[in-house]
Amino acid sequence: MRRVGALILFMVAIAASGAAAHPTATATVKIAKTRLGTILVDAQGRTLYLFTLDTKSFITCQTGYSNCPATWPPYLTTGKPRAGSGVKVGLLGTVHRTRPAGIQVTYNGHPLYVYAYDKKPGDLNGQGFINDWYVVSPSGTPIKKK
């Protein structure tokens, strides 16, 4: 029952969001120290998240899935992503997605996203959202503490 309630809140949040995914010419993945530990962030210091329902061969968060990218814009690039200090270049990659169309940055095979309600570097508002969205450690695994 809690999961159904959380899903309803998720859909309301999506309807209220106006965020969109915009590709970065050369996306950069960096690390930052937070209350959750050391995590991955984008070039602007925004927290990067993974969605546990995504797999290496299937992206769940697409327009057809409750307009998910409005709340969780994919971290898109038009070039090869760059690894900042402390980021393992061998875990950095990309995957082609269809909605929104583009090349999404991956880490350890996980497509990466930002959260529309994280307004400044260091915000962690998406952590643990409906028990499926988590920040990513430099080793490429989700950090599940809250």
pTM confidence score: 0.84
Give the whole-angstrom CA distance, residue 135 versus residue 39: 6
Task: Assess whether pLDDT exceeds 90 at residue 41.
Answer: yes
**Domain membership of residue 72 as a residue range:** 2-143
Task: Assess whether pLDDT exceeds 70 at residue 20.
Answer: no
| pLDDT for the residue numbered 65 | 66
Structural domain count, the chain: 1
pLDDT in tens, 120-130: 999 999 999 99
pLDDT above 70 covers what percent of the chain?
82
Q: Which residue has the higher pLDDT, 2 or 132?
A: 132
| pLDDT for the residue numbered 67 | 77
pLDDT in tens, 59-114: 999 876 677 999 999 999 999 999 999 999 999 999 999 888 999 999 999 999 99
Alpha helices by DSSP H, listed for the chain, are 2-16
Residue 16 phi, psi (nearest 5): -85, -15
Q: Which residue has the higher pLDDT, 53 or 12?
A: 53
Task: Assess whether pLDDT exceeds 90 at residue 28.
Answer: yes
